[in-house]
Structure 1
Amino acid sequence: MFLLDSSGSVRRRDFQFALRFVKDVITGINLASVNVGVMQYSHYFAGRELHDQPYLSTEISLGQFNNTQLFKAAIDNIQPHGYTTYTAHAVLKAIRVDFPSSNRFHNSCTSKLIVLITDGMATDSPRLSSISLMAKNEGVKIFAIGVGLANQRELVVLTRPEIGTSDRVYSINQYEALQNLVQTMRSNILA
């Protein structure tokens, strides 16, 4: 599951680089055997249920497409939101709503991964550690790509809360450099 920061700090052009990255990563992956989904995230409304959050938007459900061309066409229709950066709540929605809706969620042989791309600090930073531990307990492995001034400490907490290592955190200076990580992320997904 790809989680894409679409907060106000992400320029439209940069968001397009993130979408292109997703398309390039899934090229060469058999979508009939690997369920892939995409969520863009920005704002969270405290008075709403997770499944009713318009700015934690699951644009492509896990396994919705088993055809690469249809998947890529759906990616091309995604428009960024703007607003804030509720990273912890986006991960929570992925593990509580999106992953359980996949027909492969309860299969112990199925790898469950999040690839998160962000360029800033989480608005809900205090919740990152507890939600990351929830993800770990659900068997969900998180990889994070921090762009520019992304908060590296938050990304370490998100990906490895129990040991604090950065082996699942990738840092790049600008969104254009996502292309340098395509093969690495494809390998992580297929591992």
Structure 2
Amino acid sequence: MPRKSHCDVDELKEKLMKVPFIQGKTNTGGALERAQQMLAEGRPSVPKIILLITDGDATDKERLDAQIEKLKKSNILIYTIGVGDLIDRNELNRIATDEDFVYETRDFDSISKIKSSLLGRVCKKAKPKTSGVCGDISVDLQFIVDSSSSVTRKNFGFAKNFVANVSSVFDLRSGDVQVGVLTYSTNVHSDSAIGLGAIHSQDDFVEKVQSMKYTGGDTHTGTALRYISTNNRWREEVPKILIFVTDGTPQDRAIVPAAARSLRDKGVRIFAIGVGNAVESELKEIASEPYENHAIFIQGADYSAVQRVRGHLERLVCNDVLKITTGQDPSSTLSSGFNFNLSFN
């Protein structure tokens, strides 16, 4: 059913009840591909959501793997609902936007039991029409992403997806929110960097982030922090947030504390995220206090695990921004309005 072909709920229900049952294989990859094509025709300014309902393993594994990679690079939120005993939990986790986007039920009759929880989650994730999830705020948000040899090309891809997804919390269109990205290894990669305020479209921002190249090399974290401290054009009157992602000990550790302190002295709140071989004590040399809110250490995992802390980080960032600007509890200021595109499979 084309997404635009229904004017009201009753008409949609009537047509849904007339959808015939067609047996065959479980071509989940093909279904997700078609759903993404349908959502691409939707309104660019509203969130896009897929609910996948299935009772078994996909039979088009290669197509599914390719489609999962495409979807992870998009801004589409994907919820998976597994029904019965033959589901593959790992497959549902891979498809879903995050592991807490996965639901399981005993049988199809039991789906109604998760309706309230699922609808509540969907509505909460959908963004307001005119503002980001944090509400009508102004912020300068800078990412620094490690592109050294220890990260690997695959994990650098996960890091780019993470940056794209976190940035989607904010509304870039008005210019009130400025987002920048810098990658580094032995040197900072200023030629491919996104400067604060350089892009005002979420789609253009994601495209630019995904075009950033993996370089390999050493981990010169102090050099990257010093570069941002010296060269960033932070606005004086707005909150300044820096999100730093790394997986190891910097070779220039001697200059890291001073470089981080220079940023904090300028009023920059620093969130340090360490993955795999990162050292928690070194993250605390970079992060703002309190460390429990600003130093996030994911022990013994690869970069795919970074997505698991995305929601937690978004709440912490919004909390910092709102505390700086209003002193209010963010739970009382986040908008409850929503508008979204939704696709079922």
- Select the residue among 201, 207, 214 that pairs with 1:67: 201
Cα distance in 2 for residues equivalent to 1:169 and 1:186: 14
Query: 1:22-171 alignment to 2 at 5 Å?
Result: 22-31=163-172, 32-44=175-187, 55=189, 59-98=193-232, 100=233, 102=234, 105-107=235-237, 110-160=238-288, 165-171=291-297
Q: Secondary structure at the match of 1:61?
A: coil
Cα distance in 1 for residues equivalent to 2:316 and 2:309: 11
C-alpha displacement of 1:132: 1.7
1:16 paired residue number: 157
Contact 1:7 1:83 in 2 (8 A): yes
C-alpha displacement of 1:166: 4.5
Contact 2:148 2:217 in 1 (8 A): yes
Cα distance in 1 for residues equivalent to 2:316 and 2:144: 15
Q: 1:84 to 1:57 in 2, by over 3 A?
A: farther
Contact 2:149 2:217 in 1 (8 A): yes
Amino acid at match of 1:181: V
Q: 1:35 to 1:122 in 2, by over 3 A?
A: same
Q: 1:96 to 1:179 in 2, by over 3 A?
A: same
C-alpha displacement of 1:188: 3.3
Cα distance in 2 for residues equivalent to 1:56 and 1:41: 8
Cα distance in 2 for residues equivalent to 1:185 and 1:96: 26
Amino acid at match of 1:70: D
Q: What is the aligned length?
A: 174
Structural RMSD (CA): 1.8
Cα distance in 1 for residues equivalent to 2:220 and 2:292: 21
Cα distance in 2 for residues equivalent to 1:155 and 1:57: 27
Task: Report sequence identity in percent.
Answer: 28
Contact 2:192 2:212 in 1 (8 A): no
Cα distance in 1 for residues equivalent to 2:317 and 2:180: 12
Q: Secondary structure at the match of 2:242?
A: strand
Greater RCO, CA 8 A, separation 6+:
1
Cα distance in 1 for residues equivalent to 2:284 and 2:191: 24
Q: Which blocks of at least 5 consecutive residues in structure 1 are unaligned?
A: 45-52
Amino acid at match of 1:38: V
Cα distance in 2 for residues equivalent to 1:87 and 1:141: 17
C-alpha displacement of 1:185: 2.5
Q: Output the TM-score relative to the length of structure 1.
A: 0.84
Q: Secondary structure at the match of 2:315?
A: helix
Cα distance in 1 for residues equivalent to 2:264 and 2:209: 28
Q: Show CA shifts across 1:26-75 (max 9, x none).
A: 1131013211110001113xxxxxxxx5x455521111111100101111
Contact 2:229 2:259 in 1 (8 A): no
Cα distance in 2 for residues equivalent to 1:86 and 1:166: 25
Contact 1:86 1:122 in 2 (8 A): yes
